[in-house]
Amino acid sequence: MGIVKKILIAIGILIAIPLVLAIFTKKDYSITEEITINKPKIEVFEYIKHLKNQNEYSKWAMIDPDMEKTFKGTDGTVGFVSAWKSDNEDVGVGEQEIIAIEDGKRIDFELRFFVPFESNDLAYMTTESITDVKTKVKWGFNGKMDYPMNLMLLFMDFEGMIGDDLSTGLNNLKQKLEN
């Protein structure tokens, strides 16, 4: 067997191993973070159900203060869309739409990312009374990475990175509402 043939076989094996490994790697990930805010549940929910308010607490909204933002529909209602466009690759281009609201309890969003990568993911926020003046807020994110990109889930801590961003946003929310 010639040296060129051996090199080509070795290259083929090196390419095949990660692709086979990706077949057996999870594709979905889910992150939930929570915080207690010293405000009544209805006050907290009325604030978080408006997507424009995320500009005041979401870490992602604060990365590029000069990003272009557009809005369609009535904020705080199903169908409202908040879109962004940024040259910063950590922000990119995308939009988020309110897809469901359980009044006083839960709001669901669909996040559509266009640049630097395409992806559709789901997120939600919930509120739960702990006392009359304390509210537990949960912020969750459910994502999916298709084959073979799901291989990145083995080497990058997406759940940790997104969880840290959600925690930062919840801490900002707490500070905003309690001050």
Rounded CA separation 53/161 (Å):
22
Specify the pTM. 0.81
State the burial class of residue 40 (Cβ atoms within 10 Å of its Cβ: 0-12, 13-18, 19+).
Answer: middle
**Residue-by-residue pLDDT tens, the chain, 179 positions:** 788 888 888 787 777 666 666 566 667 778 999 999 999 999 999 999 999 999 999 998 889 989 999 999 999 999 999 999 999 988 999 999 999 999 999 999 999 999 988 889 999 999 999 999 999 999 999 877 766 665 666 666 667 778 899 999 999 999 999 99
Residue 8 lies in a domain: no
Is residue 171 within 8 A of residue 33, CB to CB? The reply is no
CATH number at residue 151: 3.30.530.20
DSSP code, position 14: H
User: 50: domain range?
Assistant: 27-178
Q: Does 81 map to a domain?
A: yes
How many domains, in total, are found in the chain?
1
